Every structure is written in C-alpha cells, then in structure tokens.
Structure 1
Amino acid sequence: MNAPNRLAPIQLNQATVNFDDRFTLSEIDWTITADQHWVITGTNGAGKSALAAVLAGLGEVTAGSVQGLPERVGLVSFEAQAELIARELKKDDADIMDVISLGTPVHEIIFENCQDPALAQSLVEKFGLSKLLDRAFRKLSTGETRKVMLIRALSSKPDLLILDEPFDGLDADTLAMLQAHLASIINTVPMVMVLNRFDEMPDFITHVAYMDKDSSDPKNPNQGRLTLTVDRSDEGAFNELYQLLHLKTTDLNVPEADPSNTLPALDPSQPLVRLKDATIKYGDTIIVNKLNWTIERGQHWQLSGPNGSGKTGVLSLITGDHPQCYTNDIYVFGFQRGNGESIWQIKQFIGYVSTALQWEYRVSTSCKNVIISGFHDSIGLYSKSSDNQKKIADQWLALLGMTSRADQPFNKLSYGDQRLLLIARAMVKHPPLLILDEPCLGLDDMNRQLVLALIEKICQGSETTVLYVNHHAEDRIAGIERYLKLEKNG
C-alpha cells in the first residue's frame, strides 16, 4: 500500500518573487494541498517555470509570503538540466586541469544520495539506460539527459514532485511508460507540472493554474501573474480555460475582410476622431468640460473613468447618437458634425459592442449567423450571405475556439461566449474604429480573461483602431498604449 501524501499546505500570499532581476512574479495568491495535482499553463514568457521554481525554494521573495515549502523536492526542468550539464562541462577545462576529466558517470549522477535505489534501478531498466551507466553524463544526448533527471527526481522520495515539461523529447514508448508510472504514485506524492499543451495533461491532474504576462507596468515587461486557478472537476470552467489558452496561443490570425464588401476609402491625412473643447452639459450641470482628444489611425486607446464621468456621452458624440454632437466642434472620419452627413455615413466605419447591444440581440439565430450578421449591420440574419462571408465566419469561429458550436443557438450560449461572438460580429468588416463599451461588464473572471484575450488579438492582428472603454485605468491590455481618464465633475 502506498504511503499517504505528507505535504503540508503550501501557501503563497500576495507573493512577489524576483529572479535575479530577469523576471518577476507579481502578487501571487495560491494554495496547494496534499490531495491536489496541478498543471501550470499559460502564454509564453508568462512565468510558468518561474512559478514552479518558487515551489522548489528558488527566487527572492520581495513582498508577501511563501509558506509551507517542503524539505525534499524532486525537480525536473530545463534550467536544472542545463545547470547540471554546465557543472559537468567545467570539469573538462584543460586550462586549469592537468589531466583530462572523463566527467561524472551516469550511475554516480543517479545513485549518489539516492533515497530509493531499488526504484532507481527499475527506472533505469524501463528507460533503457542500463548500458549507459558507465558513460560520462555530459556525453549523453538531450533526451538521455532528460531521462536521468527524471529518474533522480522520481527516486528521491520527494514530498513534492515538480516536472517542467516532463514529456518533451521523449519517444512514444518512454512517454507511455512515464505516464503510467506517474499515475501509479498519485497517492504517494503531490505533483506540479508545467505544460504548454493541454492534450498532454494526465487524467489524474485535479487543478490548473493559468499564468499570463503582467502588463500593469509597461516599462517592465518581464513580469508574470497567476491569473486563474481552475478545479478540473468544474467542467464548464475547465472548458473556458481551454478556450482562453487557445485564444492566447493560437497561430490563427484575425480573419481578413470580405473584399466584395469593402468600406469607402477614408482620407489618410485625417484623424479618425478629433474633439475640440467638447462639452456635454444638462442645464447647469457640466458632465464633460472642454475635452480635446484626437484618435489617429493605429492608435489603440483605453478610455476610463468612474460612473458619471461622461464616458458613454463621449462615445455618443463620436457615433452621432448624442444630440449635443452638433453643438460641438467634432470631426469623425473626415466629416465635420452638422455639415449634412447622415448618421449612417458615420456608423458604417464603426464597430460597436456594448452590454446594451447584447440585451437587444435576443434572436435565436446560430452562432455562425451572428457573425455573418455583422456584414449587414443587422440583429439577426435576414439577407442571403455569400460563400466568402460564410468562410470568414468559420475563420472567426476557429479563432474563438468555437468551431464545434457554429450551429448552436446564440441565446443558449454563456454570457461570455455571446460577448465574444458580438465582438467578432463587429469586426467582420474590419471597421476603421472598433468601440468596445465596457465589454467585460457582467462577466466573471474567466470570461473577462477571454474577452481581453480577443481584444489583444485584434490589437495585434488588424488595421482596426480599438477604443476600449472601462472603469479602471489600471486594467491594461497588451497592445493598448494610450490612455484617457475622465474625472467626475463636482
């Protein structure tokens, strides 16, 4: 019978951890208990390996606390592997040694200070390393070195096993053997794995931690934050995390516009929007006072401010929905407000998403038709769509990770998935300006992350200028580098 897990709870409380000024983990809150097996996943450069390293006692805790770290940790990582190889290579420095070093043999690397020699010997045979025990460790291939690291960690009787990309570089037979062995010890030792690929996640994993880059300080891009933790038994949350990882890491780009449905050309010398001394007032109450603001092509903006500061009013000046847009000095897409332009001449250049639009979009059309309706600026689909428009809609569904739900009714989806589809609907024509008015309002943390990931993708992969409106100026999105904060008057 396997011995029970001995691990006391590990707790990271608002922990900020620095790694030689190369990378910083910011304000990590995380608890690991003895009955849990975790996978750490996330975007490249988000700090997945750094978070795992903290559990091994590495890094300098500069704020918050890290408590309950185990005494004996079995660690397999590319960094630990590189350190061991570098240490061996130093023994081959002919400039300071009188004799040529043969290097440490494999059997010494494995069995020195080994806590379970019988297990180590069994794993040596299973990994096919028996004939390599007398070979110098540094003479091994990368895959063979990886196997030695795994054997050392697994036979160390660890209180916690940390495996950073343990399946990389292993052939199919070795991979199957390792997965079977890990499954056999789940009642003996808790495990934390770093994995980039969700399809490699073992069945025994109970929880997932999602890391993302911390964009709160643009001057320091080498920061990561633990954004989400998900219990794998929560099927809905787990599927949403899978979708988030897809959006963040997919190689798919923002689909092209339909060439047969192009917008009129705009004067490239003119800004998209220019407000000069714009003022909104009701009687003696001034909501917005003499606002000067210019939005140029390719400038992504975040507009923030508290309730009552006039965010929605400013948007209405731009879209032409506010009666005071004609009493202000406003240029939009080269049109001066009040000079005979129609509201539709303006709105054809704008993609707009808001909570109010989602409330209005109550029709029971399919997910695919919601996206296609963006070509016709309609709520629901009442016009025949072209084959190319259907193809573009399919590409958007693929980007969102929603291909399998193309024919599902829109009104049966989660609130967050509806919001994603409405953003795609607003983008199908690649409008010069995409206005996202509080797009995360009413969303839980997971769906909020999904929406923000899609906005990032749009900022990075299209010619559309994004105007992102929210309450909190500190809630930054990668790709948005210009900020306007409105203050409440009075």
Structure 2
Amino acid sequence: MNIRLENLTVNFDDRFQLDEINWQLDDTQHWVITGTNGAGKSALAAILAGAGDIVSGSMSGVPAKVGLVSFEAQAELIERERKKDDADIMDVISEGTPVHEILHEGDRNPVLIQQLVSMFKLESLLDRAFRKLSTGESRKVMLIRALASEPDLLVLDEPFDGLDAHTLEMLQQYLLSLVETVPMILVLNRFDEFPDFITHIAYVDQGRLQHQIDRHDSQAYNELYHLLHLKTTELQVPPTDSDTALPPLDPTQPLVRLNKINVTYDGHRIIDSLDWTIEPNQHWQLSGPNGSGKTCLLSLITGDHPQCYVNDIFVFGFQRGNGESIWQIKQFIGYVSTALQWEYKVGTGLRNVIISGFYDSIGLYTKATDRQKQIADQWLALLGMSDRADTPFNKLSYGDQRLLLIARAMVKHPPLLILDEPCLGLDDMNRQLVLALIEKICAASETAVLYVNHHAEDKIKGIDHYLALEKREPDSSQ
C-alpha cells in the first residue's frame, strides 16, 4: 500500500473544504490525525473511505477494503434504521434491525465477528435493535463491523470515546496485535491517548494539512504538543498583580489617536497625513512592505521617534509635547520584538523572566512577591511549561523564548500590547505557536493587541481591524 494525495482539494456538500492536501502513507506507518475542533481531522480521515467530492488534485493507492469507524458513519447507520420505521404506512411498529444482522452485513468474517462479540461482551445485545443501543454500545458494534471486515486500511475516528476503561484497554491491546498486518489511521484530540505504536502525526488546521511529523522526532513532537495545548486548553490569561497595577485610564478616551501624521527623512515623506485611532480592547493588524513606515509608526506611539513632538499625537491620556515623560507613556505598553529577544540573553529561569515584566527589566533584580510567583506559574501553565519553571531562558528554543517574552509583556495587562513581527525568524510550527498565544490573548484579556507583520492576508482569529501601509517612492522632481 502506498497512498498518495497530491494537491488534493475536497468539498463536503459546500459545508467544509479540505484544501491542497499533500500526504503520502505506506503500509509500514501508523498515523494519528490531530488538531482542534472543526479543523478538518475527520474530513481528512473520511476521504480515505470515499467521502467528499474531489475538486482538484489526485488521490491514488487507497485500498479497496477500508474499515471506517466514525461518528458520521455511526449517524448514517442510525438514520438508515430510522427510515425503516414506516409506521405511518404500515399498521406495525418497526423494531429496527437487530445487532446480529448489522454485524453480518457485507463481506465480514463470521468467525472473527463471534470472537469480537465475546471480547466486547455484546452477547446479550445481539437480538436488540441497533438504534436502541447506547452510544457506547453502538460504538462497539461499529468497531466490530470494521475489524471483522479484515480491512487493508483501518481508519478510526475517536475510537476510544464512549468506551469504559476495561473496553478501552482491551481495544488498545487488540489494535496492537494488528500492527504488523494492518496500517492504521486514528483521529484523536488527546495526546495522552496516542497509542505507542503510532509512527507519524498529521496536524490539521482550517482545512489544511499543516504539519507531518515523525513520532520519534522529539523536538517536533514537543512543539506540536505545545501548539495543541495552546489551542485547546481551557486555561485563561492569568490576572495581573493588584500591587503593581497600572494607573487607570479614562475608558471614554482612545488609547492612541494620530491626527494627520507626517514623517519625513532627508526630504522623503515616509508617512503622509495618516489618521489612526486605537480604541480600548480593539485588536489591530498592521502590515506593509519593508520601508512602508511600520517601525516608524510604532516609534511614534512609544515616544521613541524624534518627530513625535511635531505631530498631533494623543496616547494614554497624554497629548504629546506637554511635558510628559517617555516612561509615563511606556508603562502602558507591552512590547515584543526580535530586537528585544536579541537583548534578552540572560540565564534567568523562566518564572523570573515572566516576573521581570512587572519591572520592565531584562533579568530580575527585585525580590518577587508570592503573588507575582503565582501569576508567573499560571502563565507557565498556559504555555505548557510548568515543568520548566527554573530552566534558564537562554537554554530554550528560539520559538519558546518568543512565547515567554509575550507572556512577560502581558504580565501587567498593559492597555496596549505591541507585537512587532513576532513570527520573524520562526519556523512554521513555532509561528503557529505564537499565533495561537496571540489568539488566546485577543479572546481573553482587556488588552488591545497591535500585531505587526508583512502580510495583510496572514490573519489571526480575534483581530478584526487592519491598517496596511504602502511604501512611498521618493519624489523624482525633488
């Protein structure tokens, strides 16, 4: 068996679409498909059993006998049974098809069916109507049907859901006995349910196959674990420390208001008559090519640009140029950039890196309070790094460092969090880790997020305001 999906786009009744799937599987591999709810995991598994309409691309090498267990297949069988109840026409009440008939439908091994019925302890249910079974009982019937078909490929979508502990252990042992003869694809949400025999993992997000990793690639495996943790954890953004809380702002005033902003370098107009207002709790994406003025615009907000005093700029209750200090402005801003990461080259433990955000310091030079330690530990839990609280920051991967610096910037719950090209220098997996954390912040905090990147189309869930700058060419007449 050598299954190949090449640039495959599949439509599911206009409700969902898998886009440009490239995937290759052979008979020595056992895969888990994982991802968040609605990502397309079940759809990817189902196309191997013939579901969906191919829009473009190709699929080859799928064996004729595919054993499928899924909630959708289970629902279809139940619906089929309901349609058999023709009580409105017939003067009888249909009891539905008994379990033993359901099990023996099609080309299935009767001896194996008997063995599996005994193993799943379904003997007492063989004469009961299938549609009168409980969820767990009907799931067992679906498993027996798939296994007794002696498939060349076994596709199991959340096979462990609804099973009691004894049945779960028994099923896992049975699947283990098939490892040498039947390639398997399991759809699972929980990492702790991955069987030991799984060799590869496919991560699906928004209808696309985003990552394919070898189970034994420990770094890639850990990164995927963190990504799913951030995507699926119910943990919320931790609170701030009331003892170091920022001064309150007037909620009726914007955080930032730029009025007809002009910035000129050497006679060349970089920004021309720009109006921009950022309201509290508004999330913005700022994009544009190199030289379009993104960094310049940020430095006007933070007060680091010399021309901020000759422009009409209102930030955090201050009209620039009226005697306010730069630190009065910056206390309300959390800032993360590649440049900051270059500077943060210290051996401080991860807990202390987060706590340093209370003091805007690189490293921690003040004794932390118990409350600050507690908040830092809550951030580590959110990031899936609780077991690394004392690990030196400079021992982390580049992507994990970026996550820690975002947590450090957020620990005070600043009214404005500026993320300046936060994905710069990251591989695709770490990029998605960072974007997942930004989504979490957008959804669960009172901080306005300003996300800066090159690509306007690279959208983040929760960000619904956009400002795209264009590079201005020098005036040749000057």
TM-score (norm 2): 0.96
- Which letter maps to 1:9? I
What residue ranges of structure 1 are gaps of 5+ in the alignment?
1-6, 214-223
Structure-1 separation of matches of 2:205 and 2:317:
39
Shift of 1:21: 1.9
Q: Is the 8 A contact 2:300 2:307 kept in 1?
A: yes
Q: Give the equivalent residue in structure 1 for 2:349.
A: 366
Query: SS at the partner of 1:380?
Result: coil
1:39-77, CA deviations, whole angstroms, 9 ceiling, x for partnerless residues? 111111212111111121111222333333332211101
Q: Which residue of 2 aligns with 1:143?
A: 136
4+ residue segments displaced more than 4 Å: none
Contact kept in structure 2, 1:57 and 1:69, CA below 8 Å: no
Q: Deviations over 1:297-336 (max 9, x none)?
A: 1110000111111111110111011111112111111211
For these two proteins, the number of residue pairs brought into alignment is 473
- Counterparts of 1:98 and 1:10 in 2: how far apart (Å)? 52
- Answer yes or no: is 1:261 the counterpart of 2:244: yes
Partner of 1:10: 4
- Structure 2 residue aligned with 1:55: 48
1:276 match: secondary structure: strand
**Separation in 2 of the partners of 1:371 and 1:156?**
55
Q: Which amino acid aligns with 1:44?
A: N
Provide the residue aligned with 2:476 in structure 1. none
> Once structures 1 and 2 are overlaid, which stretch shifts more, 59-68 or 270-279?
59-68
What displacement does 1:264 show? Answer: 0.9
Q: How far is 1:35 from its partner? A: 1.6
d(CA) in 2 for partners of 1:259 and 1:418?
Answer: 26
Q: Deviations over 1:335-364 (max 9, x none)?
A: 111111100000000000000000000111
Matches within 5 A, 1:89-108: 89-108=82-101
Identity of aligned residues (%): 74
Offset at residue 149 of structure 1 (A): 0.6
> Residue 488 in 1 paired to residue 471 in 2?
yes
Structure 1 match to 2:408:
425
Alpha-carbon contact 1:114-1:152 (below 8 Å) kept: no
Aligned to 2:299: 316
Give 1:30's aligned residue: 23
In the other structure, the counterpart of 1:301 is 284
Q: 2:177 aligns with which of 184, 200, 206?
A: 184
CA contact (8 A) 1:362 1:411 kept: yes
* The one of 329, 332, 337 aligned to 1:354: 337
2:363 corresponds, among 348, 370, 380, to 380
Which shows bigger deviation, 468-477 or 140-149?
140-149
**Given residue 359 of structure 1, which amino acid in structure 2 is its aligned partner?**
W
Match in the other structure for 2:253: 270
Partner of 1:71: 64
- Give the TM-score of the pair, scaled to structure 1: 0.94
Corresponding position of 2:458: 475
* Secondary structure of 1:49 counterpart: helix
Q: CA deviation at 1:124?
A: 1.0
Q: Which secondary structure state, in structure 2, belongs to the residue aligned with residue 9 of structure 1? A: strand
Given that 2:108 and 2:145 are in contact with CA atoms closer than 8 Å, whether structure 1 keeps it comes out as no
Within 5 Å, which residues of 2 pair with 1:326-345? Answer: 326-345=309-328
1:131 to 124, 127, 133: 124
The alpha-carbon deviation at position 463 of structure 1 amounts to: 0.2
Looking at structure 1, the residues matched to 273 and 7 of structure 2 have their Cα atoms a distance apart, in angstroms, of 41
Aligned equivalent of 1:230: 213
Per the TM alignment, residue 102 of structure 1 is displaced from its structure 2 partner at its CA by 3.2
- CA deviations over 1:383-440 (Å, ceiling 9, x no partner): 1111100100000000000000000000000001100000000000000000000001
Shift of 1:236: 0.9
Letter in 1 for 2:270: I
Preserved CA contact (<8 Å) 2:3 2:59: no
- Whether 2:378 is the aligned partner of 1:395: answer yes
Deviation at 1:445, TM superposition (A): 1.0
Identify the residue that residue 390 of structure 2 maps to in structure 1: 407
Aligned partner of 1:291 in structure 2 is 274
In structure 2, the residue matched to 1:41 is 34
SS at match of 1:163: strand
Deviation at 1:459, TM superposition (A): 0.2
Instruction: Decide which moves more: 27-36 or 139-148.
Output: 27-36
Which stretch shows the higher mean deviation, 276-285 or 201-210?
276-285
Structure 2 residue identity aligned to 1:78: F
Specify the code of the residue in structure 2 equivalent to 1:89.
Answer: R
CA drift of 1:131 comes to 2.7
* Partner amino acid, structure 1, of 2:291: G
The aligned amino acid for 1:459 is C
Structure 2 CA distance, aligned partners of 1:241 and 1:178? 26
Tell me the CA shift for residue 192 of structure 1.
1.0
Deviations 1:147-167 (A, max 9, x none): 111011011121211101101
Match of 1:80 in 2: 73
Alignment partners' CA distance in 1, 2:168 and 2:431? 36
Distance 1:209 1:332 in 2: 46
How do 1:237-248 and structure 2 match up within 5 A? 237-248=220-231
Amino acid at match of 1:76: V
Q: CA deviation at 1:280?
A: 2.0
Corresponding residue SS for 2:2:
coil
* Cα distance in 2, alignment partners of residues 420 and 121 from structure 1: 53
- Aligned Cα RMSD in Å? 1.3
